[in-house]
Amino acid sequence: MAAKLIVGLGNPGPKYSWTRHNAGFMVLDRLASLSGIQVTRKAFSGLSGDGNWSAERVYLLKPQTFMNLSGRSVAEALRFYKLSLSDLIVIHDDLDIPFGKVKLKEGGGHGGHNGLRSLAQELGSSAYARIRVGIGRPVHGDVVNFVLTNFAKEEMDSLLEVLDTSVDALEMMIKEGMPKAMSIFNAR
């Protein structure tokens, strides 16, 4: 059975739990809840867990290094499990996508995202699959402060739906492949 390393990007600690930058952690937590996989083992400078989901062996990882050092944790896990970049799926927040939208992408640049920048530095490549969770962009003000603010009340009301859509996209990527999943989820 093939395996996938599924990584949710975010910042550790209760202070950041509901911030926009933690969308990756939130999706991974939702997947863990739905699959019954515990993500509590301390390994790879993060919290990890593994099990079978969607007819696939999956390793789940939430780096606890803070966003700008996430790549260290991911590189460690890939080496340990002897997986390649084609086995990696990274879930992260994206300022360029409106809140409520989920887009899939294969490879590409970091777009100013410090977590993705760290992955590119540590892995030497950006050739991996991504689930991009839209958090919108601030109308005015600093982007750095915006990503570290909690979701607004009206966004919180529909956040579970966004997390479920992200898990559905992930499941389709694994079961039916990236091209099919992209054709469906990127059209929404």
Instruction: Report, as an integer, the average pLDDT of 92-104.
Output: 96
Instruction: Report, as an integer, the average pLDDT of 83-102.
Output: 96
Instruction: Report, as an integer, the average pLDDT of 90-111.
Output: 95
Average pLDDT, the chain: 95
pTM attached to this predicted model: 0.96
- The percent of residues above 70 in pLDDT, for the chain, comes to 99
Which residue range forms the structural domain that includes residue 148?
A: 3-185
Task: Please give the backbone phi and psi of residue 16, each rounded to the nearest 5 degrees, phi first.
Answer: -105, -5
Question: Residue 27 maps to which CATH number?
Answer: 3.40.50.1470
DSSP string, 29-54: HHHHHHHT----EEETTEEEEEEEET
As for how many domains the chain has, the answer is 1
Task: Please give the backbone phi and psi of residue 11, each rounded to the nearest 5 degrees, phi first.
Answer: -115, 140
Instruction: Report, as an integer, the average pLDDT of 42-66.
Output: 95
In sequence order, the 6+-apart residues with CB closer than 8 A to the CB of 153 are none
Query: Is residue 81 predicted with pLDDT exceeding 60?
Result: yes
Q: What is the structure's pLDDT at 1?
A: 53
Q: Each residue of 123-175: pLDDT tens digit?
A: 999 999 999 999 999 888 788 889 999 999 999 999 999 999 999 999 999 99
Catalytic: 92? no
- The percent of residues above 90 in pLDDT, for the chain, comes to 90
Catalytic residue among 21, 92, 113, 140: 21
